Amino acid sequence: MALNKVEICGVNTSSLPILKSDEKEALFQKIKKGDSEAREQYIKGNLRLVLSVIKRFQNSNENVDDLFQIGCIGLMKAVDNFDDTLNVKFSTYAVPMIIGEIRRYLRDYNSIRVSRSLRDIAYKAIYTKENMIKKNLKEPTIDEIADEIGIEKEMIVYALDAIQSPVSLFEPVYSEGGDTLYVMDQISDQKNKEDHWLENLSLREAMNRLNQREKHIIEMRFYEGRTQMEVADEIGISQAQVSRLEKNALKTMKNYLRS
């Protein structure tokens, strides 16, 4: 893995811009208003974060260009979900997301080898989808993505499917204070909404310990099967805020049920 390359994925790493704190703040305020050019400038101004992260994987046999592309996807997700009201530095928030994206790639890629051309199509589709969501404030269809990048939709579906790998229901999503939330905890069973466990008195009592906003979030997330992004759009806050409120609500409920 040659980390001393000057050009990675066509990007001259020796001339990457460095944004000052006031520049970052000004750009982020524009991003929140939907300025796509400011978003691109903000991403370019933080590409050094991706470079610093991929150095941690220098013992990997993976191509540095591939890791850089994956790291950039993590960076874009961080930009789109960052909440500047939480008094946390962007780099503090972004680095774990970039690392997580690369680790998922290494796990998935090492499980099932996928051709370079298919992976390139998949990454291009993912990047295009992220940009279209940001621009149009809605998730594009496969047809729309295909039209945007000029690739047949069947090939896009095949490429995206090829880079997926099975995930254990017991894979941890996050852990806080010894309380771990697993993938299975995030899944809503649409066919069994009326099962008796939803009517369990203890669970109802635990729900009553939440404030109105937390209760609404838990109902949408686990009773209706909404994603955090969908919940954020519904109640008018950021995805990061939804995640934080959801964690607090689950912790409150868990503490009550344990008492």
Q: Which two tokens stand for residue 204?
A: 């109802």
Beta-carbon-side half-sphere exposure of residue 4 (alpha carbons within 13 Å)? 0
User: What is the CATH classification number for the domain harbouring 187?
Assistant: 1.10.10.10
124 and 198 share one domain? no
56 and 34 share one domain? yes
Q: For residue 198, is it within any domain?
A: yes
Q: Which of 104, 133, 162 is the last residue of a domain?
A: 162
User: What is the CATH classification number for the domain harbouring 97?
Assistant: 1.20.120.1810
Pairing between β-strand 172-176 and β-strand 11-12 as defined by DSSP bridges: unpaired
157 and 183 share one domain? no
Q: Which domain holds residue 252?
A: 172-258
d(CA 78, CA 94) in angstroms, rounded, equals: 5
Q: Which helix or strand (DSSP H or E) is residue 196 part of?
A: none
DSSP 174: E
Report yes or no: 77 and 97 within 8 Å, Cβ to Cβ. yes
226 and 142 share one domain? no
48 and 150 share one domain? yes
d(CA 242, CA 217) in angstroms, rounded, equals: 7
Q: For residue 1, is it within any domain?
A: no
Residue 50 neighbours by CB under 8 Å, 6+ apart: 68, 71, 72, 74, 75, 98
146 and 187 share one domain? no
Q: For residue 132, is it within any domain?
A: yes
Q: What is the number of structural domains in the chain?
A: 2
Q: Which of 130, 162, 194 is the last residue of a domain?
A: 162
150 and 25 share one domain? yes
d(CA 138, CA 140) in angstroms, rounded, equals: 6
98 and 216 share one domain? no
Show pLDDT as tens, one digit a residue, over the chain (259 residues): 555 556 666 677 777 888 888 888 899 899 888 888 999 999 999 998 998 888 888 766 777 888 888 899 989 998 988 888 877 888 888 888 898 888 888 776 654 455 667 778 888 888 888 888 888 888 888 889 999 999 988 888 878 876 665 444 445 544 445 455 554 454 444 444 444 433 445 667 777 888 988 888 888 887 777 788 888 888 888 888 888 888 888 888 877 766 5
69 and 44 share one domain? yes
184 and 72 share one domain? no
Longest dimension (CA), the chain: 62
48 and 131 share one domain? yes
Q: Which of 134, 162, 190 is the last residue of a domain?
A: 162
12 and 67 share one domain? yes
Q: For residue 226, is it within any domain?
A: yes
Q: For residue 2, is it within any domain?
A: no
Three-state DSSP class for 62? coil
